[in-house]
Amino acid sequence: MRIQSAKGFRAGPALALTCLLVSALSSAYGKRKLKEQEIIQRILHNYDWRVRPRGLNVSWPDTGGPVLVTVNIYLRSISKIDDVNMEYSTQFTFREEWVDARLAYGRFEDDSTEYDSLAIYLGYFSQVPPFVVLATSENSDQSQQIWMPDTFFQNEKEARRHLIDKPNVLIRIHKDGSVLYSVRWVSRTRIDGEVQALEHDLLMMAF
CA neighbours closer than 13 Å in the CB half-sphere of residue 151? 19
3-class state of residue 180 by DSSP = strand
Query: How large is the C-alpha radius of gyration of the chain?
Result: 28
Please give the model's pTM, rounded to 2 decimal places.
0.70
The per-residue pLDDT for 26 is: 46
Task: Tell me how far apart the alpha carbons of residues 201 and 205 are, in angstroms, rounded to a whole number.
Answer: 6
Task: Tell me how far apart the alpha carbons of residues 145 and 153 are, in angstroms, rounded to a whole number.
Answer: 23
The per-residue pLDDT for 163 is: 81
Nearest to 87 by CA among 3, 157, 1: 157
CA neighbours closer than 13 Å in the CB half-sphere of residue 40? 13
The per-residue pLDDT for 138 is: 62
Task: Tell me how far apart the alpha carbons of residues 88 and 192 are, in angstroms, rounded to a whole number.
Answer: 11
Name, in order, each residue with C-beta under 8 angstroms of 188's C-beta and a sequence gap of 6 or more: 87, 88, 89, 156, 157, 158, 159
Please give the chain's pLDDT, 207 residues, in tens: 454 444 544 556 666 656 555 555 444 444 456 788 889 999 999 999 999 999 888 788 888 899 999 999 999 988 888 888 888 899 999 999 999 999 999 888 765 555 445 454 445 556 788 999 988 766 655 468 999 999 888 888 888 888 888 888 999 999 999 999 999 999 998 887 655 555 555 555 554
Task: Tell me how far apart the alpha carbons of residues 128 and 110 are, in angstroms, rounded to a whole number.
Answer: 10
The per-residue pLDDT for 106 is: 87
